[in-house]
Amino acid sequence: MATLRVVNLLLGAVLVGGMIMEVALILPTLRRLSGEATVRALQIMGPIAWRYLPVCGVGSTLAAIATIVLEPRFGEAVVRLTTVGVVTSMTGMAVNLTLYLPLEREMRAWSPQAPPAELPAALARVTRIHMARTTLFGFGFALYVVAAVLA
């Protein structure tokens, strides 16, 4: 079962790394670009991230669930930490799919030649939603790490 925990942690690390990169690099850069460049950047980068980050999040969460189910030797603390990590990660996925993705898709559909006046407000909103999902995924990952150390 160590393999499942490695998959859980590796995929979780890629996901959280992508979230942090967006906080530290992508969103601040988008706020500094012209409206045209911002929409073009979203149109280029958005689809790339949506190809691999959801796979990492789902894979990490499924590996965590499988670890709990298939490895009965774990103590109660490890099971609880992993379970709370799963719930936290799934909450992050829900925020991702219900709040972040629809807004990001709307922004990617805008014409770069005529970005709407609401672009700055939409960037502020997407940043707030992104901070929520980053916090959830980061906390879930931290719980997975603690559970792995205790296992």
Instruction: Kindly write down the DSSP assignment for every residue of the chain, as one continuous string.
Output: -HHHHHHHHHHHHHHHHHHHHIIIIIHHHHHHS-HHHHHHHHHHHHHHHHHHHHHHHHHHHHHHHHHHHH-TTS-HHHHHHHHHHHHHHHHHHHHIIIIIHHHHHHHHTS-TTS--TTHHHHHHHHHHHHHHHHHHHHHHHHHHHHHHHH-
Q: Cα–Cα distance between 88 and 44 in angstroms, integer?
A: 29
Q: How far is CA 26 from CA 23, 58, 82, 92, 130, in A?
A: 6, 23, 30, 19, 11
Question: What average pLDDT does the segment 29-53 reach?
Answer: 95
pLDDT for the residue numbered 106 = 96
pLDDT for the residue 74: 79
Of 25-29, 72-76, 103-107, 116-120, least confident by mean pLDDT is: 72-76
Q: What is the pLDDT of residue 18?
A: 96
Structure tokens at 60: 């990490």
Q: Looking at residue 1, what is its pLDDT?
A: 61
Residue 107: predicted pLDDT: 96
**Are 11 and 57 within 8 A, CB to CB?**
yes
Whether the CB-CB separation of 15 and 90 falls below 8 Å is answered with: no
Residues 15, 137: contact at Cβ < 8 Å? yes
Question: Which tens digits make up the pLDDT trace of 47-100?
Answer: 999 999 999 999 999 999 999 998 778 788 999 999 999 999 999 999 999 999
